[in-house]
Structure formats: structure tokens, C-alpha cells
Amino acid sequence: MSSAPETAEKRLAAAASLAMIGAVLVPLIENWREKPKDSFPLSYYPMFSAKRPKRVKLTYLVGFDAAGTRYTLPYAYAGSGGLNQVRRQIVRAVADGRADVLCAHVAAQVAHVQPVTPTEVITVQVVSGSYRLKEFLAGKKEPVSEEVHATATCPARSKTPLPMSTLEVA
């Protein structure tokens, strides 16, 4: 037989559990509203439920060696900071018509630091590629189309790395 305090504790625990489950599920109602509103801490999880575009456009850096082998260059050649911060700087430079300045800066960086490629990169490009998201996630990494915004030749290599402040890309 259970005592009255034990039964009250079980009821309180059940009520708290139901309240928590309700708090998690109530925001899902937003998925069926014409203009859903997302709020913290109760979210209807739009990052998982939003429709994704079929094509995605990305702007990135590529390098080529003397044999014409293509390498995707790390974003760090374009600037310091996190991936999303530098990625936005690259996109902004292209939108502002400064892709050639960015490309020259990246070529200088590639020439002055240890390369991430097995051979020496001699040419750098700033490129925007269009990808089919479903195919990309399935393993097809080639773009549907590409647009080259700028091309620069890497200057002669030096042993001294360039400071990141030699060019303000942002």
C-alpha cells in the first residue's frame, strides 16, 4: 500500500512531466500557421521543417597547379575569423565588385604560406558554383554551373608569411 505523501509525489512528478512534454510539443502548432513565429526557448524547429531550395549557390576559392590540377583552398587564405564570417566577407567582396582584390590577396597568401596541396598552386580563382543540394548530399560534389569572378597568379614564393592585415577584405 502506498502512503499519501508518496502518491502526492507521483502525481506531482506526472504533472511536471506532462507540462514539459506539452511545452515541447505546443510550438509545433506553428508549422500549420500561415506566418509562423519562432521564439526562444520554445521553437517550432524551422531549421528542420523549412523547405530547402533545390539549388544552392556558394562562393569559394580554388587553386590550380602547373599541371592544371584543381584544389579547393581553405577559407583562411581570405581572412581570419570563423568559417561563416570569412565566407560572408568573400561573398561581400564579390557583390561589391572587389573579387579581383580578394583574389590577388589570396594568391599572395598562398605564395607566402605552406601550401595545403601536394604541389605548388600557381593560380587562384574566386568562383561561385551552383549545386543541386540533393545530389551534393548524395555525394556528387561537382557544381551544376560555375562563374569565375577573378583570377590571379601567385607571386614568387617567400619564406616570410604575409600578415593578415595587409588587405582589408571586409
* Angle, alpha carbons 146-152-157 (nearest 5°): 130
Average pLDDT, the chain: 83
- Mean per-residue pLDDT, 149-159: 82
Q: Report CA torsion sign: 163, 87, 123, 149.
A: negative
Q: How much of the chain exceeds pLDDT 70, in percent?
A: 82
Query: pLDDT tens digits for 133-151?
Result: 889 889 998 999 999 999 9
The per-residue pLDDT for 51 is 77
The per-residue pLDDT for range 41-83, each reduced to its tens digit, is: 666 666 766 777 889 999 999 999 989 999 999 999 998 888 8
Does 159 have pLDDT greater than 70? no
Position 133 scores a pLDDT of 86
Rounded to the nearest 10 degrees, the angle between the axes of helix 83-95 and helix 99-112 is 130
The values of phi and psi at residue 157, to 5°, are: -70, 145
Whether 158 and 111 have beta carbons less than 8 Å apart is answered as yes
Rounded to an integer, the average pLDDT of 141-164 is 79
The DSSP 8-state label assigned to residue 66 in this structure reads: T
pLDDT band at 116 (very low <50, low <70, confident <90, very high): low
* The model's pTM: 0.66
